[in-house]
Structure 1
Amino acid sequence: GTVMEPDVESLPRGGFRCRLCHVVAANKPSLHDHLQGKKHQRLESLRAKRQDQELRSVFVSGFHKGTSAYELNEYFQGFGGVASVVMDKDKGVYAIVELQDQEVLEKVLAHSHHCLGEQRLRVKPREKKEFKYMPPKKQGSTQHEQLSPEKLVQALCQADDVDAQMLQLVQLFEFSERERRLRHLLVTLFQEVFSEFFPGCAILPFGSSVNGFDIHGCDLDLFLDLEKTKTFQASAKGPQGSQVNEGAGPDSDSEDSILSDIDLATATVPEVLELVAAVLRKCVPGVHSVQAVPSARRPVVKFCHKDSGLLGDISINNRLALCNTRFLQLCTEADERVRPLVYALRNPFGGGPLLNNYALTLLVLFFLQTRSPPVLPTVAQLWELKGEGDPTIVDGWDCSFPQDASRLEPSTNTESLCSLLAEFFHVFGDHDFAGCVISLREGRALPLPSFLLSEAGAKLKLGHFNVQDPFELSHNVAANVNEKTAVRFQHCCRHGAKHCRSLQYQRKSSKGKAWGLVRLFQPGVPEQLCQARDFRRCWFGKVCAAITFLLKDVLKCSCTERAGEPLGQRPTEQGEEEQPITESKHPRSEEGGSFAVSPPRKRLRTEGQAPEEEGSMSWACAVWHHVWMGRRRVRRQLRHLGSPQPDEAQEVEEKVTEAIIQQEGDSRGAEPLLSFTACARVGGGQEDTRTLLYFTPDPQQGPLFQDFYHFLQGFLPRMVERYVGRAMSLSEAKPAP
């Protein structure tokens, strides 16, 4: 008979499945026992509770970033009881507010204008979602517990010498057996699934997962080899390209299911990537956030494995990566000092290296090739040792080298890890990276003038840091390194060389203080602060130039620059307020890190004084038209009239301002609508690069200034960031030779 229970479905071969609990019952008595059991009853009760909560909850957004759950609770208490407030932990841009009952919900939804901290809130009923039971994770979860810096320092300081510290770094950061097993199981799962859709294909891991330089949490890079699938597809077609009905082999059904709609031999890369993405989305359990990226240098499909949190990507035309991976493996097998040296130079304390992992690893291998005597052979020397079965040409490049490390002669170099690390810093502290090309094939730095005359020189993208791929000779693996990063890398090497000459590096502290690698990766504070001050001064000047441009040229305010006046010393009349806009979109100057952008804080602060800083900038401003009103409407009108829209945001905003002024009438009145003083200062701490912009309205400005100020809160941070970003990109752009 038909089972009427909505959570139960009949299975094709008999038995039943409970969709709520993910449980299969062989017959009706077993099903009845399950439905009356504690697990099903508990989940039914939990589902009813969640659904009731959904019916009493609202989705809230639009509040200032940094707004607390307490502030939202206080606000909605004005309509009645609030059961709970759940904030978005990741981005802090929305919240779910559960109200006490349906009556309070109706009051909240009936209110048309919600406002918190001068910011309008968007409030709507919570989206109804299907209840899904997530089984608890078993003990021994695949997620690796991150090693805290404190525990890492403690572990390294207990080692006997620097060599022992470097070996311990490898043990602390390399994969555990559980991680290796997880990745192997995932590769096996992918192989089984993709073989169903692409007969004869192979899923091959490459990169950090398998090249010998694995580190907890690194991405899983996979290559989908479709060569045999193309052969299968071609053989499964008749003379006119039609499907052969007989003799196509046992995999014909698989070919019919997905390959009949696409010819792999002629399909474009984006088409194949979309096909791969479709298989990942629909057929591989536990995989989500699938995204095809055909525009990358090596087009990939990105994905995330839900249970482990592991990120990965699949490429379809990256066969050279397999050769590079095997080459790195060969180097680690050739000498046991290779891995500890690379792990130590990745700098676990400073947020990672200034170069990407592959470029840094090749730089270490090049360094070991150039020691006297050499620790590693050059690629050219490896080519002479190749055997008959070793690969030769891959994607047009000669990738011949022995696959077996036993063919290599052991190195006669006896330098310790401690000494090699010190020499690495010494060698590259003054290296002319921009004036030569580091070649692992030849094992030497090729001078730029002679290199440019070679065949590879005509194709290699040269920059401030040139490291040639050992096989794809037209690829500079450090081409994305700009001049500032190259200088910082050399600065770090000089700092490292200096530290390695001290007793704090070479000898273990008898008093329990940091020593060896630990001190090496904790640069001197005075030197950092000096660099930070120089950077802050430069950055502050760029921000002030942007503010002047936006007020004067984009918003058409009268804007007169004047010497900075320390806030808190100028007398203010009764009712006058100093109102700051905190501009937090700024690059951070940190040793070993890269520029980072943090979201803007737009909370209104009307108390306290501006921090005392070494410099400030002030402007006396006047506004003659309502340039902050109706800007969105005017943008739509301009688009409707077919007005050309410039590419740059500030040029668009300038046209909007001009249109508003024209609509109001070009002539100015006897008195401006608003007049105020703006004062910019650098943020509080010595390493703080935020610019705080304080506004002091003239007396009796009233609500009109408040409206203008709230417009500036959203407008200025966003536009300053774009203006400064554009100026910096233009200043770094150089004409092609």
Structure 2
Amino acid sequence: MELDEDIQTTQRGFHCNLCVVNIPNKPSLEDHVKGKKHQHLLRLRAQRKAQEQNSVFVSGFKPDTSQTDLKEYFAQFGPVSDVIMDKQKGVYAIVEFSEPQNAQAALAQLQHQLNGLKLRVKPRERKDFKLASRGKHDSKTHQISLDKLNYELCKTSSVNEQMLKVVESFELKDNEKKGRDLLVQLLQEVFTEFFPDCQIVPFGSSVNSFGIHSCDLDLFLDLENTKGFQACAKSSEAQTGENQSEDCRSEDSILSDIDLSTATPAEVLELVAVILKKCVPGVHKVQTLSTARLPVVKFSHRELNLHGDITINNRLAVRNTRFLQLCSGIDSRLRPLVYTIRLWAKQKQLAGNLSGPGPLLNNYALTLLVIFYLQNRDPPVLPSVNQLKNMACEEEECIIEEWDCTFPSQPFIVPPSKNTEDLCTLLSGFFTFYSKFDFSASMVSLRDGHVLPITDFLQSDEEAVNTSEASGPKPKRSSAPKLGPMNVLDPFELNHNVAGNLNERTQKNFKRECCEAEKYCRSLQYQQKSTKGKFWGLVRLFVLPSEAGPRSHVDPEKIMEVSIPFKAAVLPEPLRAQLALAGKGFRGLWFVKVCSAVHMVFHEVLKCSPLAETQTTAVCQNLDKADRDGNEMEVNNNQSVEDSGLQAKGETGKKRPLTVEEEGPSTSTVIQAKKPKLDADLEHPEPVHWIWSQSNRVWAGRRKVRRDLLKTSDETSKPEGGCVDIESRVTQSIVEKEEKLQNSLEFEVHAEVVGGNESTEVVLRFHPSHDTAGVFQDFFHFLESFLPKMAETILGRAGS
């Protein structure tokens, strides 16, 4: 097929500039071009282009000019289909005609006059059509806003000064703080009229010492005293028979229509929204979100040009705010680090969900990551939450919703840190710390000040209440935190993962950008000011991904590997329980489970033939059989660890060379049903080695075969085993219809598990040993996405 102007050829296939997607091969390209999305965008682009040709830009009219006035004036040149006005940014309008010749007629007239003023009429600006993506910021807008900052940063003499300059540039100024304080006072006065003795308590970025220009104003409406007032008033009314409270204040207010002790949060928030709309000057765009995780009323304020939120059930957030205030008061280096890392994360598109909930880091989670890093410096910069708890006096004890939120109220109570590292060193250390962090198999715990193993959170809800011995009183709620690619435990609400919204891509991007930043921080461009006026220090660190240039080329021989990451959230409950019992040895058990799943994919789903099955492969088959029998895998205690198929050698997460000799005959790994878990030392299992042979192009045309198979199968004949059995039938159908390869494709697979100093995952390395037909590259490209998904599916049904 002939490529159109939207399709660009790349080293790995094709790229569609219109849809902003990569396409691996020509068959997929044909399907993409004919697809609904591409065709829709083609029509949309043509429509936008026609609108530009039919429109003129108009300015110079009076502010009180209406759309009707403009439409009536320009109707003399032809039918006007629409008038778009924008009076917020400036007095201008876009007048769209029905035909392009009408717009040309309006432009041909030299002078235009409306209501005594001369109008400026120009052609509408032509813009390149781009696919708008939710959640991704406009890099040009952000770059323009940083131009002045970059200039100021380059004038400084050190990275330390640059970080302080970042704080100065972004922090809330005194006049902004004063404006917010006045608004809080106004809201307090208004709401007190309707909810006597209530309190408006600000929290979040505005007051936690990490606020930036135009950050939201988060408010907590505390109605506890109001509930007491209402109960007292009702009691007094029952005794006296009058609608008056004991302190002679009339209850002729909004409280007459609602009982706070029985009202739902949604009902109370509706009343809050009404008060905001009708009684608070300058407030507009009031919206109630009663179905959110924390129900909230959103609003905007015209004069202050800020957005605000009001909640009624968020005491923990207020306490979190005071905790961040305390941390910034304990050590002055925290604020520059947080401001700098937040800006870095935003520029690298790792943080800042512009459309509300999204898969990126929020500022709170990012700040906790910085604090946790400082807790783990040697010596520590900040103490753990448990250490802070022990420094508090009895009067400072605080229990909220049965979570222990105790810490000192003043920073001078905390002894100063013995750590004397400067900001430049600490920033570099942050990237080093998280570039080697095992996110998927660890839980970041600021309360303990160190990593907690993920196995502590794989138990059933009833067993997973306490995360550590010193985690405070046992709450009634026993739900475990949501596990995901990145796990950051809230310091007080110990069943809340503040990074639970992240997806696997964001976690990988975060770690990759940390690795890139760690490498850059070792260079002189980071540490020393340029004598030639070039960008240096933080300026180069903040470079947008699109402007950083192409990444270093990787040798194709080194990328023939597929990774299957550890995903605790998708594992079935029986397997989670086994891993929890395995303790530190969970990687060994999980590795064998994954190897069993991979073996099943190659042998049963893709119909590969084993040419050389090692004893380890046989172990995987035995394990699979044991799973079906309801048994658990164990290592025979009569054999030494060195003799077993799963060995404990080297440091945690250290990659070991894979050699066939290392996997000599082993008969020590057996299946037993008595002991409930693996030995705790089995953290580093031996690599697994397979040699497979494939005789058919089982990867070619699978979508069409699968679609036809599902269409022709009735409900009674459809496979009962889900997508695994479906994919097996797809392969069988291809084998029956397609001709065999002239020479079978033979390839080796080496599998090993890594973790500890890197993300826990099973790495599968592929080496074609016989590929005269030259088809292995296509087969490997298919396996890159197919193999992890199928292995995850098989693991997900384990124990079911």
Give the shorter-chain TM-score range.
0.5 to 0.7
1:124-147 per-residue CA deviation (whole Å, 9 max, x = no partner) reads xxxxxxxxxxxxxxxxxxxxx998
Residue 259 of structure 2 corresponds to 263
Could you tell me which of 294, 298, 303 is aligned with 2:299?
303
1:333-482 equivalent positions in 2, closer than 5 A: 333-347=329-343, 349-350=347-348, 353=351, 354-453=360-459, 454-456=464-466, 459-482=480-503
Q: Which of 330, 352, 356 is the aligned partner of 2:326?
A: 330
**Does structure 1 residue 525 correspond to structure 2 residue 548?**
yes
- Cross-structure match for 1:312: 308
Contact 1:334 1:410 (C-alpha < 8 Å) held by counterparts: yes
Question: How big is the shift at 1:150?
Answer: 1.2
Secondary structure of the 2:396 match is coil
3-state DSSP of counterpart to 1:389? helix
- Aligned counterparts of 1:250 and 1:102: Cα–Cα separation in 2: 67
Q: Please tell me the residue identity of whatever aligns with 1:217.
A: S
Whole-Å Cα distance in 2 between the matches of residues 201 and 251 of structure 1? 18
Q: Which of 219, 227, 245 in structure 2 is aligned with 1:222?
A: 219
Partners of 2:72 and 2:553 in 1: how far apart? 55
Aligned to 2:31: none
Report the Cα distance in structure 2 between the residues aligned to 1:730 and 1:212, rounded to whole angstroms. Answer: 47
TM-score (norm 2): 0.50
- Give deviations 1:517-536, integer Å, cap 9, x for gaps: 111122573435989xxxxx
Kept in 1: contact 2:154–2:536 (CA 8 A): yes
Distance 2:216 2:201 in 1: 14
Q: CA deviation at 1:105?
A: 11
Hey, what does 1:148 align to over in structure 2? 145
The letter for the 1-side match of 2:154 is: C
Q: 1:108 to 1:242 in 2, by over 3 A?
A: farther
Q: Where does residue 70 of structure 2 map in the other structure? A: 98
Q: Output one character per residue of 1:653-712: Cα deviation in whole Å (capped at 9) or x when no partner.
A: xxxxxxxxxxxxxxxxxxxxxxxxxxxxxxxxxxxxxxxxxxxxxxxxxxxxxxxxxxxx
- For 2:534 and 2:209, the matched residues in 1 are separated by 32
1:198 aligned residue: 195
Whole-angstrom CA distance in 2 between matches of 1:103 and 1:425: 62
Change (3 A) 1:528 1:224: farther
1:364-418, Cα deviation, whole Å (9 max, x unpaired): 0000001111100000001111112214211121101111111100000011111
2: CA distance, partners of 1:107 / 1:496: 57
> Take 1:342 and 1:462, find their aligned partners in 2: how far apart are those partners?
25
State the 1:99 CA deviation: 4.4
CA distance in 2, matches of 1:252, 1:151: 56
The alpha-carbon distance between structure 1 residues 442 and 736, as it changes in their structure 2 partners (threshold 3 A), is: farther
Q: Is the 8 A contact 2:198 2:223 kept in 1?
A: yes
Question: Share of identical aligned residues, percent?
Answer: 49
Residues of 1 paired with 2:542 and 2:153: CA distance? 12
RMSD of aligned Cα (Å): 3.7
Q: Is the 8 A contact 1:85 1:95 kept in 2?
A: no
The counterpart of 1:499, out of the listed 515, 520, 523, is: 520
Deviation string for 1:457-483 (max 9, x for gaps)? 651100000000000000000000000
Amino acid at match of 2:548: V
Q: Within 2, Cα distance between the matches of 1:352 and 1:322?
A: 26
Residue of structure 2 in register with 1:585 after alignment: none
Q: What's the secondary structure of 1:237's corresponding residue?
A: helix
Distance 1:201 1:412 in 2: 44
- Structure 1 residues 234, 216: closer, same or farther in 2, change over 3 A? same
Distance 1:502 1:154, change over 3 A: same
Are 2:483 and 1:511 equivalent residues in the alignment?
Answer: no
- Following superposition, the deviation at residue 211 of structure 1 comes to 0.5
**Cα shift at 1:285:** 0.5
User: Counterpart of 1:401 in 2: which secondary structure?
Assistant: coil
Paired residues of 2:350 and 2:509 also in contact (CA < 8 A): no
- Equivalent position SS for 2:416: coil
1:469 partner letter: D
CA 116–338 in structure 1, closer or farther in 2 if over 3 Å, else same: same
The structure-2 alpha-carbon separation of the partners of 1:321 and 1:507, relative to structure 1 and needing over 3 Å to count, comes to: same
Residue 295 of structure 1 and its aligned partner are, at CA, apart by 1.1
Task: Compute the TM-score of the two structures, normalised by the length of structure 1.
Answer: 0.54
2:194 is aligned with 1:211: no
CA deviation after TM superposition for structure 1 residue 70, in Å: 7.0
8 Å Cα contact 1:391-1:400 kept in structure 2: yes
Structure 1 residue 73 displacement after superposition:
4.9
In 2 relative to 1, CA 731–311 (structure 1 residues): closer, same or farther, beyond 3 Å? Answer: farther
Measure how far apart 1:298 and its partner are.
1.0
Letter in 1 for 2:174: E
In the alignment, the residues of structure 1 paired with residue 331 and residue 424 of structure 2 have an alpha-carbon distance, to the nearest angstrom, of: 15
SS of 1:513's equivalent in the other structure is coil
Residues 242/361 of structure 1: CA separation in 2 closer, same or farther (3 Å cut): farther
Task: Please point out which of 245, 269, 276 is paired with 1:273.
Answer: 269
How far is the alpha carbon of 1:250 from its aligned partner?
5.9
| Counterpart in the other structure of 2:233 | 236
- Does residue 286 (structure 1) correspond to residue 282 (structure 2)? The answer is yes
Secondary structure of the corresponding residue to residue 166 of structure 1: helix
Change (3 A) 1:299 1:103: closer
Over 3 Å counting, the alpha-carbon distance change for 1:243 and 1:156 in structure 2 is farther
Q: Is the 8 A contact 1:85 1:98 kept in 2?
A: no
Shift of 1:357: 0.4
| C-alpha distance in 1 between matches for 2:184 and 2:457 | 41
**2:370 counterpart letter in structure 1:** V
Deviations 1:545-573 (A, max 9, x none): xxxxxxxxxxxxxxxxxxxxxxxxxxxxx
Cα deviation for residue 107 of structure 1 reads: 7.7
Tell whether 2:86 aligns with 1:72. Answer: no
Change (3 A) 1:68 1:250: farther
Asked whether the equivalents of residues 342 and 364 of structure 1 are also in contact (C-alpha less than 8 Å), the reply is yes
Residue 171 of structure 1 is matched in structure 2 by 168
**Contact 2:55–2:100 (8 Å) recurs in 1:** no
Q: How far does residue 149 in structure 1 lie from its aligned partner after superposition?
A: 1.5
SS, match of residue 285 in structure 2: strand
Change (3 A) 1:67 1:393: farther
- Segment of structure 1 superposing worse, 366-375 or 234-243: 234-243
How far off its partner does 1:97 sit? Answer: 6.9
CA gap of 1:288–1:730, structure 2 versus 1, over 3 A, is farther
Return 5+ residue gaps in structure 1 as ranges: 1-61, 75-81, 88-93, 119-144, 532-728
Deviation by residue 1:55-90 (Cα, 9 ceiling, x = unmatched)? xxxxxxx9944666772359xxxxxxx999999xxx
| Count of residues paired in the alignment | 437
Distance in 2, Cα, partners of 1:72 & 1:440: 58
Matched with 1:24 is none
CA pair 434-296 structure 1, distance change in 2 beyond 3 A:
same
Aligned-partner Cα distance in 2 for 1:164–1:393: 40
SS of the residue corresponding to residue 256 of structure 1 reads: coil
Instruction: Give the 3 Å change call, closer, same or farther, for CA 345–84 of structure 1 in structure 2.
Output: closer
Q: Which whole-Å CA distance do the structure 2 matches of 1:287 and 1:735 have between them?
A: 50
Name the residue aligned to 1:588: none
Q: Which amino acid aligns with 2:258?
A: I
